[in-house]
Amino acid sequence: MRLLAWVWVLAGLVVVQGDAFSQAPIERKPPPPPVGTQAPQGADDVQDAPAGKAPQSGFPTIKVETRLVNVALNVMDAKGAPVAGLVRDDFQILEDGKPQKIAIFEKEATTPLSIVLAIDTSESVMTSERLEKSAAKHFVNALLREQDELDLMEFSEVVREIVPFTNEKKRIEAGIGQLQQGAATALYDAIYLASERLSETSAANGRRRVVVLITDGGDTVKGSRYTQAMEQAQRAGAMVYAIIIVPIYADAGRNTAGEHALIQMAQDTGGKYYYVVDPKDLEPAFAHVSDDLRTQYLLGYYAPKRGTDDSYRSIKVRMTDAALQSYDLRYRTGYYADAK
């Protein structure tokens, strides 16, 4: 049985029965309890000392739970070129409007990458298989380092994981060679599942999580919606890079709403989007993604846990020097408190 014959059935995938298929419901976490229904954690009650004995300390013991929040950051000048040579004191980072101390700073992010390369194999996208497969193979060989890992998925009417996370380029190349055309486009299912897989990867050593999509932006199946896919990407801390295939810019049937949704998702997650009209331009687009990931700064701060809710926390990064505030900063705009 060829690798493409099996369908990985997880939340948000399609259950295949013969030639027909039906959408499997995506499992959702139960909603968090209303704010205020549980007391904030972190402070231990001070117990009375046994009779005749003084307490060991005159101060209560305070437990503060913290988590490291990593923020990959691209800094661009007015011409769109990356800005190098900035230092920690050039940046200020805020969570929900409150300044945070920058605990980790890297001038050029060398931290490991976990990447899901998700390729739309619907007929509207796979117009030149040879060029598309060749560009994807070159991207993998140019980007993947010893400390990185990549997961290969294809999506049409179903989402299939072709190659699970690996650092073996030959396995990934073989998987790319097995991509096959489909009839529909389960775009948001693909983003949801890619993000879910990324959330299972190790967060050690400041690992960055990335989804790279090749698609025309259309979603034509009844599955995950944009809001579900977006939330899952944010919970995984995944940066979404969208390579949007546009066969004809003025095409009346062009899915501009889908394109705009991808653009918004890329902006909110700290990723980027690229338009490709000709298949031969895929390779330069992949090169831009690779360069973007190699020229990131990495900022990290310890955010105290506030209660037990899983609320969304907003992130803002700004330059401390007025002379540098003309630079364009690109980073994820927030995270969920209970995310892995």
> For residue 108, what pLDDT is reported?
81
Confidence grade of residue 31 (pLDDT, cut at 50, 70, 90)? very low
List, for residues 132-144, the tens digit of each pLDDT value.
Answer: 899 999 999 999 9
What are the angstrom distances between the C-alpha of 158 and each of 83, 97, 120? 41, 41, 10
How much is the pLDDT for 71?
96
Rounding to the nearest 10 degrees, give the CA dihedral for residues 75, 79, 81, 85.
-60
pLDDT tens across 247-266, in order? 655 555 566 888 999 999 99
* Strands of the chain, DSSP E: 14-17, 20-23, 66-76, 91-95, 98-100, 104-106, 113-120, 149-155, 159-166, 208-215, 238-245, 272-276, 297-304, 312-319, 328-330, 334-336
Helix axes 226-236, 256-268, angle to 10 degrees: 20
Q: Are 185 and 155 in contact (CB under 8 A)?
A: yes
Angle in degrees, CA 190, 194, 196, rounded to 5: 120
Q: Is the pLDDT of residue 22 over 50?
A: no
Token couple for 32: 């968090």
- Average pLDDT on 13-17 reads 35
Q: Looking at the domain that runs over 109-294, which CATH code has it been given?
A: 3.40.50.410
pLDDT category, 15, cuts 50, 70, 90? Answer: very low
CA atoms within 13 A on the CB side of 338: 11
Measured CA to CA, the distance from residue 211 to residue 89 in angstroms comes to 30
pTM of the model: 0.78
Is the per-residue pLDDT at 236 higher than 70? yes
Q: How confident is the model over 174-187, as a mean pLDDT?
A: 92
The rounded mean pLDDT for the chain is 81
Residues 100-114: pLDDT tens digits?
999 999 988 789 999
pLDDT tens digits for range 271-303: 999 999 888 889 999 999 999 999 999 999 998
Sketch the domain layout of the chain as residue ranges.
66-107+297-336, 109-294
Q: In the predicted model, what is the mean pLDDT of residues 210-221?
A: 92
- How long, in residues, is the chain? 340
CB 34 within 8 A of CB 19: no
CA nearest 339: which of 211, 218, 239, 231? 231
Q: What amino acid occupies position 249?
A: Y
